[in-house]
Each structure stands twice: as C-alpha cells, then as structure tokens.
Structure 1
Amino acid sequence: MKAIYLLFVLFLFSCSSKTKFSGIESDYTQELVGKIKKMIIKTYQYDVEQRDSILWVTTRSIDFDRKNRALKQTEHTLNFNYETVYRYGNASLKSTHSTTKDRTDRSEYVYDRKKNVIEYRQFQNDKLGFLKMSVYDSENNIVEETYLHPNAPHLNSVDKYSIDYINRIVTIRNFKENKPNDHRHLKLHYDEKGFLIRSETVHTGETESSSDLYIREYDAKGNLTKSTSYDKEKNIVSLTVSKNEYDSKGNILVRETFLNGKLFEKTVNEIVYW
C-alpha cells in the first residue's frame, strides 16, 4: 500500500480534471476502498545480494476518521520513533505536526479556490526550512514550481512545465538564478488516464539524445506493476516488478517488489474497518 505521503498526494490533488496528470513518485498504488478505521503497515527492506536477508523493518500505524482522512500516524524502526498528527480545515489538510525525541517538524498547506496546493511550507523546531510555491493552469496541472531554501539559498530553483495535451507530454526545465539549464530537460509521457508511462532526460547540444529512460506499466486498478530503466544505448539497467495480494474489499494486503528478479521490498497491511 502507498506510504502515507502518497495517500496525501491523492487527497490533496483530487480536484477533478479529465487531463489531470500524476506526479513522478517512485511508486503508485490504488486508492483505499471502504471505510477504514486503522491500518498497521509493515515494510520489510531486503538485501538483494543475500536471499531472505532483511536489512530493516518499518512499522507505521495510521488512525482514520469516518471520512477516510488520516488523523495520526506513528512510525517505528529499530532506533527511530516518529509521530505525526494531521489537522484539517474546510475539508482540506491544513498542517501536519511531527515529533521525535529531539525534534519537532511541521508542514503547512495553502490552497487556491480549486483546492490546489499553491504553497507548501516545512518547519523544523518552528524555523522555516523549505517553501514550495506552485502555479496551475485551467486544467489544474502544475505549470511552475518555485523551491526556496532560506538556510541554503544557493539551492533555490524554479521548474517550468510545458504541457502538450494532445500528445500527453510534459516537459520540465529547471532554472537557477533565472538561468535555464540549457543542456538537459525532463520529458514525461502520460497515458489517457494521466498515469506516467515514460520519463526521459533529454540532452541537447549538437545532437539531441536521451538518457535515464524509464518505462512504466500499470494494472487496471492503477497499481504500478513494472518499471524498466535503460541507459543511453537502450540497454536495460534495472527491472522492477511488483505483485499484490488483496482482501475481500479489494484493498492491498501484501505488496512485494522485486529488483532484477530478487525480492527487494515487501509491505504487509493489516486493515481494520469501521
């Protein structure tokens, strides 16, 4: 099942649009089905070089309200405990507050009238550490994102999106100090449902070429099932395949991910319904 971050990506950007494109997250899984009261999610990371060798286990417990909105999440690893509380206003997520032994993190969200997130702020111990500002077109797709780092201004940048709706292609160019990276840009290809099916880094110069090419496949429910990466000679670099087991309501109980044929990650979900 998707991590809680991905759950909120779906929640935050759920405004309707026939041409709404997904983001470039590393994994996609279906939305939750039914009225869920609680989820306990165990994620096992494996050493692909040693069969059945577990590197670490992460356990997340998430409490939901009757609208399937997360209220609180606790996360545990061997040496790490993390608790997050979610706060809402006008049916939208307004902020998250996370605590560990020696640190407090806070995230804040600001929306436009179409419920698109136009500002996202991250604080650590009440000090602003990151600000992202987003601009959308009439189809609620992002056309510009500004990234500001108050404590490291040399990292500040802007991504500008060019959208070809006819061919479902989004081109992203990065700018620093108002100067574009003229040597490369990112090109994203989508299917008719808005899922990312191909991403490539395009290098420009005397000749145009692609590298860091990724091809993705999905099942009928929108779960990412296969991701293949290629080098610039179009040789396969890595192959990732995911397989799911479901409960009677259609939610994922077990999701196994294999890297080049070897078990890399397994997520086991315990779901309690209202």
Structure 2
Amino acid sequence: MTFIVVTILASCLSAMAVHGRRRNWPPGLPTTRPRLVAMGGTYEGSHGHPSDAYVIQERLIAAADGVGGAELCQSAAALALGAVVAARPQHPGRREEDMTECAQVAHHAVRTASMSTPTMSGLSSTLDLIILDPGERPCVRYAHVGGGAIWHCAKSAAPRLLTTSHGEGSRACGIGQASGPRPQVGTVPLRPGDRLVIVTDGVLQALGVARLTALIAEGASPAVCLDRVYDEMAAVEPKDDATVIIADFVTV
C-alpha cells in the first residue's frame, strides 16, 4: 500500500501548482503581485529508471533526485518533496533557519519509509528548494542537499552559483541517510527580472557547469531557455534523469 501511495504522489508532483481564485481586484489595493513565473521539466535518462521529481508553486519551487533501486528512486524523491510541501515553508514570518528544519522534515519522511518498510530499505534523495518571500524587500530563501545546484541570475549580471554540488559522494549525508542531511542554506535579495535556476545532478553530468551557466545567461524567456537546455541534452542523451526549473521573479 505504501508503495502504491508513493507512486501516485510521484506522478502528481511534477504537475503540482498553485492557482489563485479569479475575482475582481478590490479598489485601492496594489496592482503588483510578486511571484515566480517558472517553467520546468525532466529529461528522462536513457537507463529507463525514473529518479527525479519536482514541484512548482507560486512561491515554492523544489526538485529532488532519489536513490533506492530501480523501482524506488522516484519514490524517495516524491516522499521528500511531499514532506516539503506539507511543511508549508512559504508561510509568512518564516526565517532562513527554517530551511534547515524543512530539510530535516523531508529527511524524516524518507528515513521513516526506509526503516519501516522492508521493500523500501535504502531510500535517499537530494533536495534543492527555493522559497520566495515577497514584501518591501523581496528575497528568496534556499536549501540545498546533495548533487543538484541552484543559480541566481541577477538582471543584466552574470549567473551566480549559490550552492556547492558534491556529486555522488553527497548521498552519504543526503535526505534519508543515517547520518542525516547537512543542508546548505541562504538568502538572496531579489529585483524584478532576476532569475533562479534549479537543476538535478543529471543536468550537471550531461552539460557541465560552464555550459549550463552560459545557457541560462542568454536572457531568453524561461520557456525558450528550457528548450535550449533540452536541445543540448538531446545531443548527449544523459543516462540519469535530468530536471531543469527556470523561474523569473516578476511583480506585475
């Protein structure tokens, strides 16, 4: 039963989004609405074992790359992301320190499944998470565990890699492992037109940091940029799943 539930969750996460109710905008209220406009997708690896999952909401974006055998990789990623969404770290009043707590919540979910269900033993996952905090001084909080990466592309500036990727060796201290996660967390101020990019390690292995940085620096829309990344991955045919999420910060 647990495996069935997790499988269903994995199939739903990549399409998860938040939609506001449509209504007339009340007079006197500001006409701006800070948010992240994002495009994302997973380029399926050639080995045929799904491992990645991602979620895109208005102020929460996350990606995970699961480990745990051919049939359970995506289950680990789905468990981690489901716990993150349930924790609602985008709630007002949250702090940078809460990102570490959020990673621990994801770790507990994956670890509990691994320890309590014999068929799911050995589950672990990476996690890359960004949370938009609007307000007078908009910023994004981020948390990173494992082999993925997060970029901040300030408008009219070169992309800046916010996180350190440790590749395959990072799984020893990842989400669900006995040693527990050691998340890298931080906060970055945002201005309209800034871009944030999340990738799993399948993208880094396929294209490399330098080429991917060049692609996301070209200033095209998220959709066009995602297409370009996909075109280049098609040429190299990565073995592992490769997830890319490109989000622009807008205020209108």
| Rg comparison, structure with higher value | 1
Considering Cα pairs closer than 8 Å and 6+ residues apart, tell me whether 1 or 2 has the greater RCO. Answer: 2
TM-score, normalisation: structure 1? 0.25
**Bigger helix share:** 2
